[in-house]
Structure 1
Amino acid sequence: MSLNERQPSWLSRLFRRALVGIYKGAGWHAHGVVPEQRKFVLIAAPHTSNWDFVYFLGLTNDLGIKPHFMAKTSLFRWPFTNFMLDMGGVAVDRSSNRNYVQQMIDEFRRRDEFMLTIAPEGTRGTVKAWKTGFYHIAMGAGVPLVVGMMDYGSKTGGLGPAIWPTGDYKADMAKVAEIYAKVKPKYPTKGMTEIFARDDA
């Protein structure tokens, strides 16, 4: 366990076990190899259902990793503070002069291990283009992008290869799109239609 990590409470452990139980009961299983470098931006897509979270948590549990996610600071207020931290939440101060991209770059520099999960679509609905904040974070922190996959057709999922951002967003996303082309989301009609996106973080 990383020196930066905390021991989760019994309630958080119970909640996680319940979600993992749902994942296993649904017949999912994981594949893929976790990158040796445990600092990367984990792309979570396509994101078309709330079930994605449950199965994604089960997949990462099978792979033996604990990814983190961003959430606004108001969600970390008592009595949810410890629960949010235990589940991997990282508070983002939207009122700060520093934007969230810089806050996450700083977080990567502060931690020994940090696997930051980001859903570039930003919504479970149909999107025309991804937000690009995840890419700017990876570039600024000097860490790779790792594709997280959940294929509802085969009930398998896991991690794709690490892709080091080059600064050429379109070329790098072409590699990502090639991997996701083989993945079936829960609701295919809401799946990503275009990732070469609006540059609005």
Structure 2
Amino acid sequence: MRKFAQFLFRTFGWKIDKNSPQGVKKAVVVVAPHTSNWDFIIGRLAFASYGIKVRLLIKKDLFFPPLGWILKGMGGIPVDRKKNNNITEFAVEQFEKNEEMFMVFTPEGTRSYNPKWKKGFYYIAREAKVPIYMAYIDYENKTGGFHGLFEPTGDIEKDINFIKSELKQYKGKFPENGIR
């Protein structure tokens, strides 16, 4: 799958950043900017090019045949957002059950511009005691990859602002909806 993903990535004119996550077996991965449905496909190809299996929390409503089978095959974990579930606790349990796991989040929570990021990824990283990898999809330069590793300090506002400042250099498919 890795070679095939690399082939597709190159065929579409994209490059993968060579900074791969060395020596880290578990992490929350924050991908930004998220401005298009294409981000999912490009992101999956990028992660597969690295040889990394990722997990994604996806609303349960999308897990109907045949889409549900495809989503599960691509690392999707169904979550019922309508019930009063503790998604943070659920995600932490997933980290505890797996020796290796990269759980991916798009903290904007929408493809439209959103200055107020969702904070669940941060709480999950803190509770699971895993680092946060900052990752990106840059349509302007047709590159995708890992920007760097970040250890949460406990100062959520400061940390999220730092992550935003690091990732705002990358341009989404619709730059006007990206990080400002």
Larger mean CA deviation between 42-51 and 21-30 belongs to 21-30
Report the alpha carbon displacement of residue 56 of structure 1 after superposing the two structures with TM.
1.1
CA distance in 1, matches of 2:164, 2:84: 33
The question of whether the paired residues in 1 share the 8 Å contact of 2:168 and 2:179 is answered with no
Matched AA of 1:152 = Y
Partner of 1:28: 14
Matched AA of 1:29 = K
TM-score relative to the length of structure 2: 0.87
SS in 1 for 2:115: coil
Classify 1:71/1:181 alpha carbon distance in 2 versus 1 (closer, same or farther; 3 Å): closer
CA distance in 1, matches of 2:41, 2:106: 14
User: Is 1:143 matched with 2:143?
Assistant: no
SS in 1 for 2:58: strand
Larger gyration radius, structure 1 or structure 2: 1
Superimposed CA distance per residue, residues 126-147 of structure 1 (whole angstroms, 9 cap, x where no aligned partner):
2121011111111111111111
Q: 1:41 aligns with which of 8, 17, 28?
A: 28
How many residues of Structure 1 are paired with residues of Structure 2 in the alignment? Answer: 177
User: Is 1:190 matched with 2:177?
Assistant: yes
Q: How does 1:45-194 map to 2 (within 5 A)?
A: 45-94=32-81, 96-193=83-180
The question of whether the paired residues in 2 share the 8 Å contact of 1:108 and 1:141 is answered with yes
Classify 1:177/1:97 alpha carbon distance in 2 versus 1 (closer, same or farther; 3 Å): closer
Larger mean CA deviation between 34-43 and 133-142 belongs to 34-43
Q: Percent identity?
A: 34
Classify 1:127/1:78 alpha carbon distance in 2 versus 1 (closer, same or farther; 3 Å): same
Report the alpha carbon displacement of residue 168 of structure 1 after superposing the two structures with TM.
0.6
Structure 2 gap segments, 5+ residues each: none
The question of whether the paired residues in 2 share the 8 Å contact of 1:23 and 1:54 is answered with no
The structure showing larger relative contact order (alpha-carbon pairs under 8 Å, at least 6 residues apart) is 2
Classify 1:24/1:167 alpha carbon distance in 2 versus 1 (closer, same or farther; 3 Å): same
CA distance in 1, matches of 2:40, 2:61: 20
